[in-house]
A and B are shown apart, each in its own frame.
Chain A
Amino acid sequence: MTRKLSRRAFLRGAALVGAGAMASACAAPQAPAAPQVVTQIVKETAVVKETAVVKETSVVEKVVEKVVTATPAPAKAVKKVVVRYMCPTWCSTADTRVERQVAFRSVIDSFNSLYGPKGWSVQEIPFDGDAVQLTQQIEQKKVDAIWFNFSEYVTRSRAKQLLALDPVMATVGEDVKKFFPFVQETLLSSDDKKVYALWHNTDTPLYYYNKEKIPTPPAKWNDLVQMCKDIRTKEGGKKYGFVHPFNGWIQMNSGLYLALGGEYLDKTGKPVAFEGKNLEIWKEMFAHYLGLLKNDLVPAGSVNQDQQQMMPDVYAGNVYSFAGNSNYHVRQLKPNLKDAEYKQWTAAPLPYPDKAGKGIYQAGGWMIGAVANPDPDVALAAATWVIHATNETSQSVTNKAGAWIPTRSAILENDQFYKTDPFMQTTLKALQNGHVVPLDPIWGPMSTAIQTALSNAATGKKSVEDALKEASDTTMKEYEALKKK
């Protein structure tokens, strides 16, 4: 009973199907389904409490941590806001290290999940970290939140590039008092005392030493000199008790200058670092470091070495202690020493001058800020992102992934990882006496001038007095030039 389909019947059928398809395509779109009735309203604060840190194993078999947040119930139709967040590649999901990818992705995902019902999401824009590019993007209004160096905090807030976070912080219960004292001081150092960014991670110099060779770390400069002399006497040759980078000296010693009662700027912002008692403090500090060199207590090559360049001496087993950044155990020692050798190393706060009552240590790091935006919705979303990305959970996860130091003392005190890591606990001790260099534009030329003066004196090119006189002249010349602006 099979009937052959005629050509005419086929065409008719095809025409009917086509007409039907066209009719359905042209029909008015179906009204969206009514929003699902939410039986239980999940408050933001309640959701934040549900945020937790979990450990999971990634495909590359690296133990990583990430933030997980309970997915809130869908909400009514809302205005979509995408926070365009510009950050250097090394602190983004675009970094090559899996642990960083996972950590930063989890912070973004948790924000998107938490604030998705409000229509907010974050779009990461990784870049190479060039400050000029960052400024261009801010000025062209192409970014809503940025990751930037702490040293730019005052200049960027002064240029009105950043949004004051205080109102949003008050709404969500965020408070600068939760951060280290030096962080609070810095965040409130803007011209109008408002908070324009939150500090994500920090670091500070530490004294690293080999426990086998130096059982008790020197606490003060005289102890350090004595230890160096003992090692030179005992071992001699190429073996040294200590090495200190003379390039970057100011980074290690700016706080010790303060500990000795030194001042960089007066209340009007004028440099006073080379006047009266301040000049004497520099002379005293120079004398200590030049003495180490002159008496062959540190390797001669350190005169023109930075932190990294002095490390081959440490790896070769020629040097038993050094001044280095607070992540050097992860960045340098662990990857370059055998396990047994690495275990011989630990850290203490940098030895400080005997005349000083305590050591004060310079801190640096990176901040996240929201870019000033006329659209209140975008501004609110960006400010909320800044708070979210620097909250305790996010900071804990991302700082671990990056081997950085969180800026909230609570993390170093309570988080299991930080609580049990001896290097981190030493860092915590040092950061309790942390300080930040003046965020005034004169700091750059002034610190470079001090650095040059030390180098001039160390190489014998100039006497200490002449070197410091030149540093003073250079600084004042730069100050006059800056004052015109």
Chain B
Amino acid sequence: MTAALSRSTRRLERFAGGPWPFILPGVLLYLALSIYPILYQFYLAMTDMQVTSLSSAQWVGLENFAFLFSDSRFLDAIQFTLLFVLITVPVQYTIAFALALLVDQKLRGRIVFRLTYILPLAISSLIIGLMWRLLMHESAAGFINALLEQLGIGTIPFFSNPNWARFAIFFVNIWSSVGSTMVFLLGGLQTIDVEQLEAATVDGANAWQRFFLIKLPLMRQISGLALIFMFVGTFGIFEKILALTFGGPANATFTIGFYMFATAFGARGAWGTTAGLLGRAAAMGVVMFGVILIFVLLYLWLVMFEREEA
């Protein structure tokens, strides 16, 4: 009895003296706020839960997934989302890197530049969408088209032409997100040891060589992380689509995120169009989660591979 007591006391003492008391609250919060919602989404994806009746949801197994992979709208949405990511992420990264290099210089008024680029971060995505929708309005009421017309160029069908609508989405997303990526990369640039750069300069390296041979390699990890964040943010785009194009015209700007919203909460424009299919929307979320996970794992594998090589 005494031996058992002392054993459990020792265990408790070991627990109290170890790292667990410090990390347990964090772990519990992580489990409750991150792991549980993810697992719950997997569960939801396998039910027929609807907005108007939550408790009577029934288990349908993989039925929602089977429906999605035979649904041309969903396959089109995946295709457009991937196209959107493949175009906007590299462009956004390139512009952000260029801006980060620019504001990393000892320029006069660089604070103003930094603030200007970061400003869109302070505006919500929905407001950004509405703002650009008005600016790009396809009539004399839209500032950009009115300006183009004054210049004799003619108006651009930003939202009624599928290709221009896609362009509008790409442009607005890059415009609004480039600031955050720039801040991220600027942080990375400022961690580079100045002595290394000075030594290279003394050794006769020009600005291009310093960039390609020192800065870029040293920025590889932080760039990878920035790319992952950009990928995740862009892959799940929804609010800007909602405000700018509403997925149209002719579903040309339908992303998975937007389709998920329309499935769960209904689409505007037809009274009574409350689809409310939470189970199917959750299945879309799981597919999205899977795609993002693949890219994140790929990144982690690359980082680990690099470390092993080093």
Say whether A and B bind each other.
yes
Chain A neighbourhood of B79, CB < 8 A: none
Contact with A along B222-258 (1 / 0, CB 8 A): 0000000000000000000000011011111000000
Q: Quick check: is A132 within 8 A (CB to CB) of the other chain?
A: yes
Q: Quick check: is B152 within 8 A (CB to CB) of the other chain?
A: no
Q: Quick check: is A201 within 8 A (CB to CB) of the other chain?
A: no
Q: Quick check: is A465 within 8 A (CB to CB) of the other chain?
A: no
Q: Looking across the interface, which residue of chain B has its beta carbon closest to that of A457?
A: B250
Q: Quick check: is A12 within 8 A (CB to CB) of the other chain?
A: no
B269-A452 in contact (CB<8A): no
Q: Quick check: is B141 within 8 A (CB to CB) of the other chain?
A: yes
Chain A neighbourhood of B274, CB < 8 A: 131, 149, 151-152, 444
Chain A neighbourhood of B161, CB < 8 A: 459
Kindly specify which of A69-77, A221-229, A244-252, A339-347 makes contact with the partner chain: A244-252
The CA of A318 and the CA of B159, in the complex, are separated in Å by 18
Chain B neighbourhood of A166, CB < 8 A: none
The CA of A462 and the CA of B249, in the complex, are separated in Å by 12
The CA of A136 and the CA of B50, in the complex, are separated in Å by 12
A444-B134 in contact (CB<8A): no
A251-B270 in contact (CB<8A): yes
Chain A neighbourhood of B48, CB < 8 A: 485
Q: Looking across the interface, which residue of chain A has its beta carbon closest to that of B133?
A: A309
Selected from B58, B72, B249, B273, the residue in CB contact (under 8 A) with A304 is B249
The CA of A249 and the CA of B270, in the complex, are separated in Å by 8
Q: Looking across the interface, which residue of chain A has its beta carbon closest to that of B267?
A: A448
Q: Quick check: is A406 within 8 A (CB to CB) of the other chain?
A: no
The CA of A246 and the CA of B268, in the complex, are separated in Å by 12
Q: Looking across the interface, which residue of chain B has its beta carbon closest to that of A364?
A: B271
B250-A251 in contact (CB<8A): no
The CA of A448 and the CA of B250, in the complex, are separated in Å by 11
Contact (A250, B270) CB under 8 Å given A300-B138, A304-B249: yes
The CA of A459 and the CA of B164, in the complex, are separated in Å by 12
State which residues 437-477 of A face B: CB under 8 Å.
437, 439, 441, 443-445, 447-448, 451-452, 455-456, 458-459, 461-462, 470, 474, 477
B278-A132 in contact (CB<8A): yes
Q: Quick check: is A269 within 8 A (CB to CB) of the other chain?
A: no
Selected from B67, B162, B272, the residue in CB contact (under 8 A) with A437 is B272
Q: What total of chain A residues lie within 8 Å of the partner, measured CB to CB?
A: 61
Sample of 20 further A-B pairs with CB below 8 A, known A304-B165, A451-B269: A131-B265, A131-B274, A135-B54, A149-B272, A150-B272, A152-B52, A159-B53, A246-B249, A248-B269, A251-B269, A254-B270, A300-B160, A305-B159, A312-B142, A315-B141, A445-B275, A456-B251, A462-B250, A477-B67, A485-B58
The CA of A159 and the CA of B57, in the complex, are separated in Å by 11
Q: Would you list 17 pairs from A and B whose C-beta atoms are within 8 A, ordered by A residue? A: A131-B276, A135-B53, A246-B249, A301-B139, A302-B160, A303-B160, A304-B245, A312-B134, A312-B141, A316-B140, A364-B272, A445-B275, A447-B273, A451-B269, A452-B250, A455-B251, A477-B70
- CB-based closest 6 A-B pairs: A301-B138, A312-B141, A364-B271, A248-B269, A151-B272, A447-B270
Interface centre among B54, B72, B141 (most CB of A within 10 A): B141
State which residues 176-204 of A face B: CB under 8 Å.
none
The CA of A362 and the CA of B270, in the complex, are separated in Å by 10
Q: Quick check: is B51 within 8 A (CB to CB) of the other chain?
A: yes
The CA of A432 and the CA of B55, in the complex, are separated in Å by 39
Minimum CB–CB distance from A265 to chain B (whole Å) comes to 13
Minimum CB–CB distance from A43 to chain B (whole Å) comes to 39
The CA of A456 and the CA of B73, in the complex, are separated in Å by 13
Q: Quick check: is A109 within 8 A (CB to CB) of the other chain?
A: no
Q: Quick check: is A353 within 8 A (CB to CB) of the other chain?
A: no
B56-A443 in contact (CB<8A): no
Selected from B52, B72, B133, B142, the residue in CB contact (under 8 A) with A155 is B52
Q: Quick check: is A313 within 8 A (CB to CB) of the other chain?
A: yes
The CA of A247 and the CA of B242, in the complex, are separated in Å by 12
Chain B neighbourhood of A263, CB < 8 A: none
A459-B275 in contact (CB<8A): no
Selected from B63, B140, B251, the residue in CB contact (under 8 A) with A452 is B251
Chain B neighbourhood of A439, CB < 8 A: 272
Q: What total of chain B residues lie within 8 Å of the partner, measured CB to CB?
A: 50
Q: Quick check: is A139 within 8 A (CB to CB) of the other chain?
A: yes
The CA of A90 and the CA of B275, in the complex, are separated in Å by 23
- The B interface, classified by DSSP as helix, strand, loop or mixed, is loop
Q: Quick check: is B157 within 8 A (CB to CB) of the other chain?
A: yes
Contact with B along A223-262 (1 / 0, CB 8 A): 0000000000000001000000111111100100000000
B54-A448 in contact (CB<8A): no
Q: Quick check: is A217 within 8 A (CB to CB) of the other chain?
A: no
A131-B137 in contact (CB<8A): no
Query: What residues make up the interface of B, taking CB atoms closer than 8 Å to A?
Result: 48, 50-56, 58, 63, 67, 70-73, 133-134, 137-142, 157, 159-162, 165, 245-246, 248-252, 262, 265-276, 278
Chain B neighbourhood of A136, CB < 8 A: 54
Contact (A139, B271) CB under 8 Å given A444-B266, A455-B250: no
The CA of A139 and the CA of B57, in the complex, are separated in Å by 12
Chain B neighbourhood of A305, CB < 8 A: 159
B51-A306 in contact (CB<8A): no
A159-B249 in contact (CB<8A): no
The CA of A161 and the CA of B52, in the complex, are separated in Å by 9
B53-A301 in contact (CB<8A): no
Q: Quick check: is A156 within 8 A (CB to CB) of the other chain?
A: yes
Minimum CB–CB distance from B62 to chain A (whole Å) comes to 13
The CA of A371 and the CA of B162, in the complex, are separated in Å by 46
The CA of A275 and the CA of B18, in the complex, are separated in Å by 73
Q: Looking across the interface, which residue of chain A has its beta carbon closest to that of B137?
A: A312
Q: Looking across the interface, which residue of chain A has its beta carbon closest to that of B264?
A: A132
The CA of A443 and the CA of B71, in the complex, are separated in Å by 18
Chain A neighbourhood of B270, CB < 8 A: 248, 250-251, 254, 437, 444, 447-448, 451
Q: Quick check: is A481 within 8 A (CB to CB) of the other chain?
A: yes
B140-A318 in contact (CB<8A): yes
The CA of A445 and the CA of B267, in the complex, are separated in Å by 10
Chain A neighbourhood of B265, CB < 8 A: 131
Contact (A477, B71) CB under 8 Å given A131-B51, A312-B139: yes
The CA of A238 and the CA of B55, in the complex, are separated in Å by 54
The CA of A238 and the CA of B145, in the complex, are separated in Å by 12
Chain B neighbourhood of A302, CB < 8 A: 160
A139-B272 in contact (CB<8A): no
Chain A neighbourhood of B134, CB < 8 A: 312
Minimum CB–CB distance from B138 to chain A (whole Å) comes to 3
Minimum CB–CB distance from B162 to chain A (whole Å) comes to 6
A458-B275 in contact (CB<8A): no
B160-A131 in contact (CB<8A): no
A459-B272 in contact (CB<8A): no
The CA of A250 and the CA of B267, in the complex, are separated in Å by 12
Contact with B along A288-328 (1 / 0, CB 8 A): 00000000000111111110010011011010000000000
Minimum CB–CB distance from A294 to chain B (whole Å) comes to 13
The CA of A306 and the CA of B265, in the complex, are separated in Å by 18
Q: Looking across the interface, which residue of chain A has its beta carbon closest to that of B254?
A: A452
